[in-house]
Structure 1
Amino acid sequence: MIRTLVRRTAPALLARPGIGIHSAAQLLMTAGGNPERLRNDAAFAALCGVSPVQASSGQTHRHRLSRGGDRAANNALWTIANNRMIHDTRTREFAARRKTTGDSRNDTLRVLKRYIARETFGLIRDALRHENALDTAA
């Protein structure tokens, strides 16, 4: 049942590498039935708990992920990022470049999760707008 709903609502989301039925369903549920409340990809990232937070001290300038937001959506983004790090060539190359600069795997995952939130935001917003337009037309 959920597979049919997600495929009907957001086929473009499922076409992206690393995004499966359950991750897509969780991101759609997080965005909700009112996509206009999410003004931009930064708002969606904050809702998912992947917006960077300053964690600097003295001369050290670092970021960490927000511990707020929807933890299930954060887990879905982690699953997508982890899947891409294993199976997607472009993501593996990106992770290798980050490793040469001294970033840890967790730092790379943090950057990837924010990128994936930005990438999926437009797809989700368009899918939900289309779905809402169909509902109001019926």
Structure 2
Amino acid sequence: MKKTKKIILIDDNKIDLFVNQKIIEIFDPSIQLKTFTKASAAICYLKILEFNKDFKSLFIPDIIFLDINMPEMDGFQFLAELKQLEIIKKHQIDIFMLSSSSSLEDINKAKSHQFCKNYYNKPLTNKTLQEIFQPERGYAISLY
């Protein structure tokens, strides 16, 4: 039985959030999505999951797409907070940083972070999603 993929999108730009959500939905309509416009809200959500012992009934993401540049809490601050949570130790969650910036400093910092699997430019593309959902990553692509 194929596991339904669960993705969290975090981006303060509502247009980027909407575009990436639609790209994912078109790529694979079976993917379950949860979106946040604030990284701090996503951290709060993940903290709530830790207080609930019945993880199976909750939306625990397989993947988090995380914008780098956000007010209040940027992507790197999110990763620092995430590091403190048990959920990242108990569950395999792949994190991909997204940005419209082409800053080499951001790219290198993202790619060298222990929790970040890779860095991609916004918006997501079909090619990017195919790369992420390669069979060797353990994710299957729905073919319609």
**TM-score between the two structures when normalised by the length of structure 2:** 0.25
Higher relative helix content:
1
The structure showing larger relative contact order (alpha-carbon pairs under 8 Å, at least 6 residues apart) is: 1
Higher relative strand content:
2
Q: Which has the larger radius of gyration?
A: 1
